[in-house]
Amino acid sequence: MFISTKLWNNNHRPERAKPALEASLKKLQLDYVDLHLIHTPFPFQPGDEQDPRDANGNVIYDKGVTLLDTWRTLEGLVDEGKCKAIGLSDVSLEQARDIFEVARIKPAVVHVESHPYLPQWDLLEYCRKNRIVLQAFAALGHSSEPKLLEDPVITAIAKRVNKTPAQVLLAWAIQRGTALLTTSTTPSWIKENFDVSTLPQDAMREISEGIKSRVRFNAVVETGVPGFIPRGQGG
Ligand SMILES: NC(=O)c1ccc[n+]([C@@H]2O[C@H](COP(=O)([O-])OP(=O)(O)OC[C@H]3O[C@@H](n4cnc5c(N)ncnc54)[C@H](OP(=O)(O)O)[C@@H]3O)[C@@H](O)[C@H]2O)c1
């Protein structure tokens, strides 16, 4: 097993980040985790409220700490043996680069939304060059509209290679060099998602070059507000 956890937004300040990881370790009954990620680059008001909002319902951010301050604290947690590797989540290429260039302990993982509607080629190329794992979440499009699993390019390839659309999307994610995250509560889909085969090169090209739609299902990177926001209300 490879165990990851994440630092939540209300714990970005150096004095809060260490107790936050220690609390996670206690809950997990572990001495260390394999990977610790900064959940988003948006620090929230420090305190026990995980979703601090003002009277108008807007998130209260913390301007008193930078992503680099938090990164330096996580480097210290690696030194202390509380996590083996550290990484970033929901960051842009620029934010990943800013941390990478000055980090004493380099990010091992950059965890972002990625699928054929949001391929993030530039970020993937940067990660590849710098030996960072790009971990792609929402690999199947998070069951959101427009349905990636029903994209005509994906369904046509699935028919041709005798696999399901989900298996095609997962194979594409693996073959282009990302680590992927998917979830299912449906036993037959969980089984299906492990049964992935190599796609022919022409199918890889059709997905990478033939799908032109661009959709970000999770607007956290643009808004700082976590969670999947229904289309029309967010970015
Ligand atoms: N850092 C962040 O901001 C962030 C945000 C979102 C997610 N994540 C991480 O990424 C993980 C995966 O994201 P995700 O849940 O959006 O992944 P996803 O794979 O894009 O979407 C999962 C959805 O696809 C369905 N599904 C799974 N396998 C299927 C199959 N073979 N055929 C048809 N439908 C299938 C599931 O349905 P059922 O559940 O009904 O079976 C579920 O509704 C999350 O668990 C979380 O750890 C991180």
For 10-57, the pLDDT digits (tens) are: 999 999 999 999 999 999 999 999 999 999 999 999 999 998 999 998
- Smallest CA separation from ligand 1 atom 15, residue: 183
What's the pLDDT band for 221 if we cut at 50, 70, 90? confident
What distance in Å separates the CA atoms of residue 107 and residue 117, rounded to the nearest whole number? 25
- Residue closest to 17 by CA, chosen among 84, 65, 53: 65
Per-residue pLDDT tens digits for 113-167: 999 999 999 999 999 999 999 999 999 999 999 999 999 999 999 999 999 999 9
In the DSSP assignment, the letter for residue 176 is T
pLDDT at res. 226? 65
Token pair for 177: 């060099």
Name the residue of 140, 221, 229 to mutate for ligand 1: max ligand atoms within 8 A of Cβ.
140
pLDDT at res. 227? 62
| Residue reference for tokens 């059709």 | 206
Q: In angstroms, what is the span from residue 128 Cα to ligand 1's centroid? A: 24
pLDDT at res. 19? 98
pLDDT at res. 222? 76
Pocket of ligand 1 (CB under 6 A): 89-90, 111, 137-143, 149, 166, 181-186, 189, 192-193, 218, 220
**Looking at ligand 1, which atom is closest to the CA of residue 188?**
31
- What are the angstrom distances between the C-alpha of 116 and each of 75, 83, 125, 147? 33, 32, 15, 11
Percentage of residues of the chain with pLDDT beyond 70:
96
- What are the angstrom distances between the C-alpha of 185 and each of 53, 137, 189, 193, 230? 32, 16, 8, 12, 21
Question: Which residues, in sequence order, are CB contacts of 184 under 8 Å at separation 6+?
Answer: 190, 193
**Looking at ligand 1, which atom is closest to the CA of residue 182?**
19
Q: In angstroms, what is the span from residue 180 Cα to ligand 1's centroid? A: 10
| Residue reference for tokens 């083996």 | 84
47 phi-psi bin (left φ>0, alpha ψ -120 to 50, beta other): left
On the question of pLDDT at 102 being above 80, the answer is yes
CA atoms within 13 A of residue 215's CA, in its CB half-sphere: 23
What distance in Å separates the CA atoms of residue 12 and residue 88, rounded to the nearest whole number? 12
- What are the angstrom distances between the C-alpha of 130 and each of 100, 110, 175? 9, 11, 18
**Looking at ligand 1, which atom is closest to the CA of residue 39?**
1
pLDDT at res. 219? 84
Q: In angstroms, what is the span from residue 111 Cα to ligand 1's centroid? A: 14
Per-residue pLDDT tens digits for 66-82: 999 999 999 999 999 99
- Smallest CA separation from ligand 1 atom 33, residue: 166
Q: How many helices (H) and strands (E) does the chain have?
A: 9, 6
What's the distance, CA 223 to chain centroid?
Answer: 16
- Smallest CA separation from ligand 1 atom 2, residue: 90
pLDDT at res. 235? 31
**Confidence (pTM):** 0.94
Find the mean pLDDT for residues 199-218.
97
Compare 55 and 231 and report the one with higher pLDDT. 55
Q: In angstroms, what is the span from residue 103 Cα to ligand 1's centroid? A: 31
- Residue closest to 79 by CA, chosen among 32, 37, 40, 38: 32
In the DSSP assignment, the letter for residue 43 is -
Q: In angstroms, what is the span from residue 142 Cα to ligand 1's centroid? A: 5
pLDDT at res. 156? 98
On the question of pLDDT at 229 being above 60, the answer is no
pLDDT at res. 223? 74
pLDDT at res. 228? 53
